Amino acid sequence: MSEPTLVPLGDGEVVGDSSDRRVEILSEHETLHATWSRFGPLREGADLHVHHLHTDLFYVLEGELTVGLGIEDERVVVRAGTLARVPPLVVHGFRNGSDAELRYLNFHAPGLGFADYLRAMRDGRTVSFDQHPPPPDGGRPLTEAVVGGDGFVSDRPGLRIALLADVEEIGIAEAWNEPGCPSPPPYLHHRHVESFYMLEGEMTFTAGGRELRAEAGSWVQFPPGAPHTFAFPGNRSGRFLNVHTPSCGFGAFVRGLHEASTDEELASVRAAFDQILA
């Protein structure tokens, strides 16, 4: 992938579609495989398992996701607007344990073939994927799984940013924009992929002479080397996820933006984060 991509609501590659389950692939970049899923009431997801080499994350859009942690299958309810992050070697499974419909995003960072694993399950094939039974020793402590954000929130003119995750494989923030929020100058990344998921409102992205309009439910992704910027049209506020894979110090970048008070300080923060003005 060398060009920006836009996946409008409902236009992802469908790998499962029934009355109680729909799964769409949004991203298949090597650094990040992302899916959108709908589960009916009390729908089972995945039995207890571990990943050896990658991080598994869930962001709940609607309803409640029940995550089982550790070989004792300790149940944790993840509510709408919340991220759950499961590091490698932490035993986990998941399901919709409620009587209401569940919708969520699932991120695997790096991807390691997750999208093709889903296609194989749909098609009755078998492929190799980094998913394994719980180890005899129980794996890493279940306390290493994190439900909720990082705790850091930055308020800048017109834009509020809450850091949700910042590990080597992936950085995620949830942002709220006010009407008239200023646009950043065009920029690019050399070493990582930047992705957006529009939760509410609308954003307009400009990249390579193209304009991409992202309404609620849209996924937008920019590969390394692709200059881009974004704007918030109209007089509505908005809310979106901003995803960086690998993280490249995204958490330090968010904190640096919050603390910077001069153009020189902003330039230093961008340079440290692999963000170059185009």
Q: What pLDDT is recorded for position 151? A: 87
Q: What pLDDT is recorded for position 266? A: 86
Domain boundaries, the chain: 5-147, 153-277
Q: Is 54 left (phi over 0), alpha (psi -120 to 50) or beta?
A: beta
Q: What pLDDT is recorded for position 208? A: 82
Question: In this predicted model, what pLDDT tens digit does every residue of 120-132 receive, in sequence order?
Answer: 999 999 999 999 9
Q: What pLDDT is recorded for position 30? A: 97
Q: What pLDDT is recorded for position 1? A: 53
One-letter identity of residue 192:
H
CATH of domain 153-277: 2.60.120.10
Dmax over Cα atoms in the chain, in whole Å?
A: 57
Strand locations in 30-101 (E): 32-39, 44-49, 55-62, 64-69, 74-79, 83-86, 92-95
| Unique residue bearing structure tokens 């499974």 | 93
CATH of domain 5-147: 2.60.120.10
Residue 91 CA, distance from chain mean position = 20
Q: What pLDDT is recorded for position 271? A: 86
Q: Which residues of the chain have pLDDT under 50?
A: none
Residue 34 CA, distance from chain mean position = 7
Q: What pLDDT is recorded for position 214? A: 97
One-letter identity of residue 198:
M
CATH fold match for the domains 5-147 and 153-277: yes
Q: What pLDDT is recorded for position 275? A: 92
- What's the burial of 27, exposed, middle or buried (CB within 10 Å: 0-12/13-18/19+)? buried
Q: Single out the residue of 199, 165, 189 nearest to residue 55, CA to CA.
A: 165
Q: What pLDDT is recorded for position 75? A: 97
One-letter identity of residue 171:
G
